[in-house]
Amino acid sequence: MRKAIYIFFAGAAAIVAPFRSEAQQSPVETKKANSEYKPAFNGQTRIGSVSTKSAYEGKVITSALERPWGITSLPDGRFLVTEKGGTMRIVSTTGTVGKAISGVPKVNSDGQGGLLGLCIDPDFPKNRMVYWAFSEPLSEGNITSVAKGKLSADEARLENVTVIYRATPAYKGNLHYGGRVIFSKDGNLFLSTGERSDLVTRPQAQDINSGLGKIIRITRDGKPAAGNPFAGKPNARPELYSYGHRNVQGIAINPVTGELWETEFGPRGGDELNRIVPGKNYGWPTITYGIEYSGDKIGAAIQQKEGLEQPVYYWDPVISPSGITFYSGKQIPEWKNNLFISSLSGMHVCRLVIEGNKVTGEERLLSGENQRFRDITEGKDGALYAVTDQGRLYRIGKK
């Protein structure tokens, strides 16, 4: 077993929020936007900032992880964590990092690939089932796949591992896999996929007979879930839930409405937060608030079109939103039902206050840590726990 590392920073990592009014202040973003595109409605971007009034802190409880990608809570309060290179481990709340759990299928960890998001079965105490997404290498290319397996009683291995779903077609590239997987309240699985980035695959986000650039809804066995919006329609995949996505690395269930929300990467500008309505088209690459990395415009350079959904919120410049979670704990009451977003290039945890499906305030937590935050989850103790590309696990909660 790895040696546990306990780090309690007195400076930047331990943060006590100043006591301020929750009233909006100036937007947190002060940098110039990449484009001159205008939002479709007031408050769609650069909303006024808010500040947490309660005293909270961020503590590093271990730095011993290797490129962690996904984190989820176990019933006893510990965490199950995936590492990009292909390992899965259990981590205690005090920072003890367990040995690699065997049985994980081979992953292609080149580029943005690897062992990606994970979740446990709602009946985990009885069946010990784990589900995870990964970039699977096939002869025809790489693919976003979902597997499941039973965690052994001694927690050393995954048993009876089966790949239950593959988001075809495969592609010989190593970008934009999406890769989050969570359970819905009805016991089905949501999977997010990317459109694999390249110009040749980008149009597949608009193709309802492709698994790329989609939100997928499947059963525990990988079959299309009953009631999906495209079931029975010609030239459409019955597992699709929504389409027109670029690269979705954040999905979460709103605890108030039960609806699915997602975050996805834009190119230069145009990161999005979307409330997912089944069957709807979220526009990529037809509409976007971003531009190409080269500075060129994308397609017809339009941001609105009839029949295509607008993001609830967008960022320009980007924050690179990865894993997300809604807060339902009791440690910080004012965070109740707020959305927390782990930000990669933004190097902070983004807090969004959402009221009536509109963003009404934004705050940046742990912005002085200089960490690429990859995923975030709520612990059994009511604190938030976030992992970073640099190998840290943070506890964010009551001081």
List residues with catalytic annotation.
Answer: 176
Where does residue 390 rank: exposed (0-12), middle (13-18), buried (19+ CB within 10 A)? middle
Beta-carbon contacts of residue 370 (< 8 Å; ≥ 6 apart): 347
Fill in the amino acid letter for 263. T
Beta-carbon contacts of residue 142 (< 8 Å; ≥ 6 apart): 108, 113, 135, 136, 170, 171, 172, 173, 174, 177
Q: Contact 141/166 with Cβ under 8 angstroms?
A: no
Q: What is the Cα–Cα distance from 253 to 260, expressed in whole angstroms?
A: 5
Q: What is the Cα–Cα distance from 305 to 198, expressed in whole angstroms?
A: 23
Phi and psi based region of residue 227 (left: phi greater than 0; alpha: psi -120 to 50; beta: remaining) = left
Tell me which residue of 398, 328, 379, 320 sits closest to 71, measured CA to CA: 379
Beta-carbon contacts of residue 365 (< 8 Å; ≥ 6 apart): 15, 52, 58, 340, 348, 349, 350, 351, 396
Q: What is the number of other CB atoms lying within 10 angstroms of the CB of residue 225?
A: 20
For residue 172, give the DSSP letter.
S
**Rounded to the nearest 10 degrees, how much is the dihedral formed by the CA atoms of 235, 181, 277, 250?**
-120
Distance, CA of 120 to chain centre: 16
DSSP letters along 50-86, please? ----S-EEEEEEE---SSEEEEEE-TTS-EEEEETTT
Is the Cα dihedral 209, 214, 218, 222 positive or negative?
Answer: positive
What separation, in Å, do the N-terminal and C-terminal C-alpha atoms of the chain show?
30
Tokens encoding 77? 């309060």
Parallel, antiparallel, or unpaired for β 56-62 and 87-91?
unpaired
